[in-house]
Amino acid sequence: MVGPRHSWAVSAADARALQRRLRERVIRGDALGPVAVVAGADVAFAGEEAVAAIVTLSVPALSLCEVVAARRRVAFPYVPGLLTFREGPALEAAFRRLRRRPDLILFDGHGLAHPARFGLACHLGLRWDVPAVGCAKSLLTGEVALERLGRRRGGHRAIRAEGEVVGAALRTADGVRPIFVSAGHRVSLATALRLAFRCCRGYRVPEPLRLADAAVALLKRRGGSVLAPEDLTPLLRFPRQRRAAARARARLDTPGTA
């Protein structure tokens, strides 16, 4: 961790002041090398605890490399626009457990498409000095012409806030609801869209985030903060593969077929 450091134990007013100060240090253009390992980072809450998981996959195969997790007691109150201060400590504890530093991290949250232009992907990307992209399921700020997006995968439309393009709605699969992509740190919006889409395999959310979400859900059910890659292996089959397997089973179950 070589980015700017600060305590997570701050007031809401101090947190907003930190956002205003640190956002000036975000690198909005491309400052990343080849992406061979991409991570997905997600957090869920279980009572008074934040449960964080980070999953890394190889690129372009999207083969599972590593799964790490951590639990931390939540000390910061729920304040819209300041969720990083609730999720950050658990995510950082998980990040410290990675054996290999990823070349890119996708966060379940926003980057520049945030009221302070300093969402989760900006904040932790800067703090950890790692290229970062926000991939959110809902729009937090700005406007986007979703009616002009189209229903085919790969379509995208700009998110505009106060006259500035801060992200884009991206259709990741035919007919599914879009996700909202924004640059976090050391990545341009064009590159963020390209890499997020490259990590999709038939589901709405990119594969690293889908698996990170599954990891935190599993930890919430069974407790603890230890996962192995094999815990997520049943989830690695993509939709097309599942359909092909179902058709194969149907053929085997139908009389008169070989």
Query: pLDDT (tens digit, 9 = 90+) per residue, 149-166?
Result: 988 899 999 999 999 999
Q: For all residues of the chain together, what is the average pLDDT? A: 89
For the stretch 23-40, pLDDT in tens is 999 999 999 999 999 999
Instruction: Give the confidence band of 68 by pLDDT, cuts at 50, 70, 90.
Output: very high
For the residues 64-80, what does the mean pLDDT come to?
94
pLDDT exceeds cutoff 70 at 218 = yes
Q: Among candidates 153, 161, 121, which has minimal Cα distance to 41? A: 121
Q: Among candidates 216, 120, 211, 139, which has minimal Cα distance to 177? A: 139
The predicted pLDDT at position 239 comes to 56
The residue behind tokens 């599914």 is 176
For the residues 165-178, what does the mean pLDDT come to?
95
**Residues facing residue 165 across a β-bridge:** 160
The predicted pLDDT at position 230 comes to 77
pLDDT exceeds cutoff 90 at 216 = yes
Q: Among candidates 202, 237, 183, 201, which has minimal Cα distance to 60? A: 201
For the residues 187-200, what does the mean pLDDT come to?
97
Q: Among candidates 75, 72, 82, which has minimal Cα distance to 14? A: 82
- Per the model's pLDDT, the better-predicted residue between 150 and 250 turns out to be 150
For the residues 101-117, what does the mean pLDDT come to?
97
Instruction: Give the confidence band of 238 by pLDDT, cuts at 50, 70, 90.
Output: low
For the residues 194-223, what does the mean pLDDT come to?
93
Instruction: Give the confidence band of 244 by pLDDT, cuts at 50, 70, 90.
Output: very low
Instruction: Locate the DSSP E strands across 99-237.
Output: 104-107, 132-136, 156-161, 164-170, 179-185
Instruction: Give the confidence band of 108 by pLDDT, cuts at 50, 70, 90.
Output: very high
Q: In order of start, what are the domains of the chain with their CATH numbers?
A: 12-253 (3.30.2170.10)
pLDDT exceeds cutoff 70 at 241 = no
pLDDT exceeds cutoff 60 at 111 = yes
Contacts 24+ apart (CB under 8 A), 22-28: 22/118, 22/123, 22/126, 23/116, 23/117, 23/118, 23/122, 25/126, 26/112, 26/117, 26/118, 26/122, 26/125, 26/126, 26/184, 26/185, 27/185, 27/186, 28/112, 28/183, 28/188
